[in-house]
């Protein structure tokens, strides 16, 4: 049986700035609307120019204004690595506590 992973606790302890910096290779910068725009290309569609991808550093949610990809940080890992929800929780756990 799979071990229980407390997602809410992980989200509370996660450093989303560090997380996305690592994933995207860019430091997210906070914009006027409170979203943190990342000057980089979306990983989830064939993006031609940077600027369409945004992350919310408070919640860890991401959104692409170009292809509409969006979700939580757990969805991001699922999407990126093509793994299950539970596997991405494990991955996030590693990032948060041992990353």
State the residues that interact with Zn ion by CB under 5 A: 42, 44-45, 64, 66-67, 69
**Residue 53: CB minimum distance to Zn ion, A:** 6
Which DSSP letter does residue 49 get?
S
Considering the complex, state which of residue 42 and residue 92 has its C-beta at the smaller distance from Zn ion: 42
**Residue 50: CB minimum distance to Zn ion, A:** 11
**Residue 86: CB minimum distance to Zn ion, A:** 25
Considering the complex, state which of residue 27 and residue 67 has its C-beta at the smaller distance from Zn ion: 67
Instruction: Encode burial over 44-78: b for 16+ CB neighbours within 10 A, e otherwise.
Output: beebeeeebbbbbbeebbbbbebeebeebbbbbbb
Considering the complex, state which of residue 15 and residue 47 has its C-beta at the smaller distance from Zn ion: 47
Helix (H) or strand (E) holding 19: helix 16-24
The whole-angstrom separation of Cα 98 and Cα 64 is 28
């Amino acid at each position: 049986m799979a071990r229980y992973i407390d997602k809410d606790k992980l989200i509370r302890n996660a450093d989303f700035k560090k997380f996305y910096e690592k994933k995207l290779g860019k430091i997210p910068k906070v914009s006027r609307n409170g979203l943190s725009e990342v000057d980089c290309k979306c990983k989830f569609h064939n993006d031609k120019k940077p600027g369409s991808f945004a992350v919310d550093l408070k919640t860890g949610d991401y959104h692409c204004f170009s292809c509409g990809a969006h979700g939580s940080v757990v969805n991001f890992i699922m999407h990126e690595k093509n793994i299950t929800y539970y596997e991405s929780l494990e991955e996030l756990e590693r990032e948060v506590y041992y990353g």
